[in-house]
C-alpha cells in the first residue's frame, strides 16, 4: 500500500468527507512531505480560511486515535498528525483472514436475505477496523434498537470476510449457549484444522487458534443478537464468552440496548468498545444510509422500483419529497422500510397519502393490525393462528397449525398468506414451515390484549398445543 492509499484508508476510518480527505492528501502528499496552508489552498483552489477550517475538523476526527492532538496547540498539530500517521504507516498491518471456507449452511439463507439490499454502514465498519488497529484483542459491540440493521451489519461483515459467525435467532429457537458453542467449535476445527478439541470450551478454542495465526493475522468471531440469547441468569458471561482473550482475537457483537446490569460481559485485561447506532453523533450517517436504501429500492431493486415509482406518480409528489419524508417517518429503522416499501409496492397503501403513512415500526404494526380488523370477532381464527405461532416459537408446518386450530389446511394457508410479509418460510424435512420473521413483531404480538393468556379461547388453544405435543411424543414412542 502506497502513502496516498494509506491516507485514503485512514480518512475512511475516521469518517472524513471527500473534501476533508482531499485536504489531508494535499497537506501530506508524501510520507516525507508536509505542505503549508498557503500551498494547500493554492493546490485545491480554495481560501486559506477554508483550509484552516477543514484542518480543524480533521484534527477533531483524528483525536480518537491520536490523543496528543487534543493537547497540541497552534501550527504544531499538522506536524503531530503527520508524525502519528507515519508511525502507523510503518507498522505491520493486522490482517483479517479472508479465505474460501464456506459460510455455515445454517446461516447461509439468513445472510443472503440480509445483504440482498444492504446499503451504507461504512462508519460502523470503519470504527471496527480502527478498533482492531488500536488494540491487540477485544470485544467490539454494535448497539441499536430493533430494526436498525444490526443483523444486516453482522451479515455483511461475515459475507465480506467469511468470518466465523453465529446468529442468535429467537423465533427459530437457535439462541442457546450449547448451540452457539457447537457451531463455533465446528467452524474453528474446519478452518484451522484443530485436533483434540471436540469437547473444548470457547476460551481453549480461541487460544488454540491464536497459536496457529501467522504474523499480523487475527481471528474475528461475529456474534449477532446477544439480546435474543436464552440463558439462565448467573455469574457467567452471556454465551460463556471468554473473560480473557489471547492477542489477535476479536469479537464483533451486536445487541439491543439494555440495562447495564443485564450486560453479562465481564473481562480482565480485554478492551470493550461499544458503538451505539442511536447516539446523536451518528444521526447524519444513519439518515444518509436510510435515504440511500430508499434510493436503491427506487432505482435498482427489481422487486420494488416499478411499484414505488408508480405510487409516487399517482400521488403526484416528487422523488426527493418521497425519500425525505419516508426516511423521516422510518425513524432510522430499516425494518420499517422493509415493511412499508413492500406494502406500497403491493398496493396496500393506495388509499393512503404520503402524509398518512405511519410513523415508526410500532405504529406500522398497529396500523396493519387495525387495517386487518383483528379486533373484531370475525377475525378470531386469525388471532388464534398468530397465537399458535407465538406460543410454539419455532418453525412449524401448516398441517400442524391446522391440527391445533382444528381447521382445514386450506383455511389456515389462506390466513398465513395474509400475514406472509411478517412470517419466515423455510423448508424442514420437505415441509414448508412458518415462524415469526422478526423479534420486534413477536414483541408486538405478545403485547396485544387479544393474545393475552387470560382469554378463555386462547387458554383452550394453549391446551390444544399441549395435547398435540403429547400426541406427537406418544407417536414417536410407538415408532421407536
DSSP-derived secondary structure for 70-121? GT--TTHHHHHHHHHHHHHHTSPPPEE---SPPPPHHHHHHHHHHHTT----
Which among 244, 248, 265, 20 is positioned nearest to 133, based on CA atoms?
Answer: 248
Of residues 382 and 448, the one with the higher pLDDT is 382
Residue 100 has pLDDT above 70, yes or no: no
Residue 154 has pLDDT above 90, yes or no: yes
Q: How large a percentage of the chain has pLDDT more than 70?
A: 90
Candidate ranges 88-102, 297-311, 341-355; pick with highest mean pLDDT:
297-311
Residue 347 has pLDDT above 80, yes or no: yes
For residue 459, name the pLDDT band (cuts at 50, 70, 90).
confident
Cell of 357: 403513512
- pLDDT in the model for residue 476: 63
For residue 99, name the pLDDT band (cuts at 50, 70, 90).
low
Residue 10 has pLDDT above 60, yes or no: yes
In angstroms, the CA 382 to CA 380 distance is: 5
Taking residues 326-339, report their average pLDDT.
Answer: 87
Q: Where do we find the cell 389446511?
A: 409
Q: What is the mean pLDDT of the chain?
A: 84
Of residues 25 and 480, the one with the higher pLDDT is 25
Domains of the chain: 3-89 (no CATH), 96-278 (3.40.50.300), 283-358 (no CATH), 377-479 (1.10.10.10)
- pLDDT in the model for residue 294: 93
Of residues 7 and 244, the one with the higher pLDDT is 244
Residue 304 has pLDDT above 70, yes or no: yes
Q: Reduce the secondary structure of 163-212 to three states and give it as a string.
A: CEEEECEHHHCECCHHHHHHHHHHHHHHHHCCCCCCCCCHHHHHHHHHCC
pLDDT in tens, 12-67: 877 788 888 899 999 898 888 888 888 898 888 899 888 888 888 888 888 767 76
Taking residues 362-389, report their average pLDDT.
Answer: 76
Candidate ranges 152-156, 361-365, 388-392; pick with highest mean pLDDT:
152-156
pLDDT in tens, 266-285: 999 999 999 999 888 898 89
Whole-structure pTM value = 0.68
Backbone angles phi, psi at 218, to 5 degrees: -140, 160
Angle ∠(17,21,24) on CA atoms, nearest 5: 140
For residue 261, name the pLDDT band (cuts at 50, 70, 90).
low
- pLDDT in the model for residue 449: 61
For residue 259, name the pLDDT band (cuts at 50, 70, 90).
low
Taking residues 108-129, report their average pLDDT.
Answer: 90
With 0-12 CB in 10 A as exposed, 13-18 as middle and 19+ as buried, what is 414?
Answer: exposed
Residue 260 has pLDDT above 70, yes or no: no
Distances in Å between the alpha carbon of 207 and those of 101, 131, 249, 300, 318? Answer: 20, 20, 8, 45, 57
In angstroms, the CA 191 to CA 188 distance is: 5
For residue 242, name the pLDDT band (cuts at 50, 70, 90).
very high
Lowest mean pLDDT among 82-96, 128-142, 169-183, 381-395: 82-96
Q: How large a percentage of the chain has pLDDT more than 90?
A: 30
Residue 335 has pLDDT above 90, yes or no: no
Residue 93 has pLDDT above 60, yes or no: no
- pLDDT in the model for residue 378: 66
Of residues 382 and 451, the one with the higher pLDDT is 382
Residue 366 has pLDDT above 60, yes or no: yes
pLDDT in tens, 196-208: 999 999 999 999 9
- pLDDT in the model for residue 169: 87
Angle ∠(337,354,314) on CA atoms, nearest 5: 105
- pLDDT in the model for residue 70: 67
Amino acid at each position: 500500500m502506497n502513502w496516498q492509499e494509506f491516507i485514503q484508508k485512514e480518512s475512511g476510518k475516521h469518517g472524513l468527507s471527500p473534501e476533508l480527505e482531499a485536504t489531508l492528501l494535499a497537506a501530506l502528499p508524501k510520507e516525507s512531505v508536509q505542505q503549508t496552508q498557503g500551498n494547500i489552498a493554492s493546490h485545491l483552489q480554495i481560501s486559506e480560511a477554508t483550509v484552516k477550517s477543514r484542518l480543524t475538523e480533521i484534527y477533531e476526527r483524528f483525536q480518537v486515535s491520536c490523543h496528543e492532538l487534543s493537547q497540541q496547540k497552534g501550527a504544531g498539530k499538522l506536524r503531530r498528525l503527520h508524525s502519528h500517521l507515519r508511525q502507523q504507516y510503518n507498522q505491520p498491518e493486522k490482517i483479517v483472514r479472508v479465505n474460501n471456507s464456506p459460510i455455515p449452511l445454517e446461516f447461509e439463507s439468513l445472510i443472503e436475505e440480509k445483504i440482498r439490499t444492504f446499503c451504507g454502514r461504512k462508519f460502523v465498519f470503519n470504527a471496527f477496523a480502527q478498533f482492531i488497529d488500536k488494540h491487540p484483542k477485544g470485544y467490539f459491540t454494535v448497539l441499536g434498537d430493533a430494526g436498525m440493521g444490526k443483523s444486516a451489519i453482522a451479515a455483511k461483515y461475515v459475507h465480506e470476510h467469511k468470518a466465523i459467525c453465529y446468529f442468535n435467532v429467537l423465533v427459530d429457537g437457535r439462541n442457546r449457549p450449547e448451540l452457539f458453542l457447537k457451531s463455533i467449535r465446528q467452524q474453528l476445527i474446519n478452518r484451522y484444522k484443530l485436533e483434540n478439541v471436540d469437547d473444548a470450551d470457547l476460551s481453549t478454542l480461541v487460544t488454540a487458534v491464536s497459536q496457529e495465526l501467522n504474523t499480523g493475522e487475527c481471528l474475528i468471531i461475529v456474534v449477532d443478537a446477544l439480546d435474543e440469547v436464552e440463558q439462565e441468569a448467573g455469574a457467567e458471561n452471556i454465551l460463556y464468552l471468554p473473560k480473557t482473550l489471547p492477542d489477535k482475537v476479536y469479537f464483533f457483537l451486536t445487541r439491543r440496548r439494555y440495562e447495564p446490569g443485564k450486560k453479562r460481559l465481564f473481562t480482565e485485561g480485554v478492551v470493550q468498545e461499544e458503538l451505539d447506532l442511536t447516539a446523536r453523533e451518528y444521526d447524519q450517517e444513519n439518515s444518509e444510509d436510510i435515504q440511500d436504501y430508499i434510493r436503491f429500492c427506487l432505482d435498482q431493486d427489481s422487486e420494488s422500483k416499478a411499484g414505488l415509482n408508480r405510487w409516487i406518480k399517482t400521488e403526484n409528489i416528487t422523488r426527493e419529497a418521497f425519500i425525505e419524508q419516508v426516511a423521516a417517518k422510518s425513524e432510522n429503522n430499516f425494518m420499517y422500510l422493509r415493511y412499508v416499501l413492500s406494502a406500497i409496492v403491493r398496493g396496500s397503501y393506495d388509499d393512503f397519502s404520503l402524509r398518512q403513512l405511519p410513523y415508526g415500526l410500532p405504529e406500522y404494526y398497529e396500523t396493519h393490525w387495525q387495517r386487518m380488523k383483528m379486533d373484531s370477532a370475525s377475525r378470531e381464527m386469525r388471532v388464534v393462528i398468530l397465537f399458535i405461532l407465538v406460543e410454539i416459537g419455532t418453525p412449524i408446518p401448516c398441517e400442524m397449525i391446522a391440527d391445533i386450530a382444528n381447521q382445514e389446511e386450506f383455511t389456515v394457508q389462506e390466513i398465513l398468506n395474509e400475514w406472509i410479509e411478517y412470517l419466515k418460510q423455510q423448508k424442514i424435512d420437505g415441509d414448508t414451515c412458518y415462524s415469526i420473521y422478526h423479534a420486534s413483531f413477536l414483541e408486538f404480538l405478545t403485547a396485544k390484549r387479544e393474545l393475552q393468556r387470560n382469554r378463555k379461547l386462547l387458554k383452550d388453544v394453549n391446551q390444544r398445543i399441549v395435547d398435540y405435543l403429547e400426541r406427537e411424543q406418544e407417536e414417536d414412542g410407538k415408532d421407536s
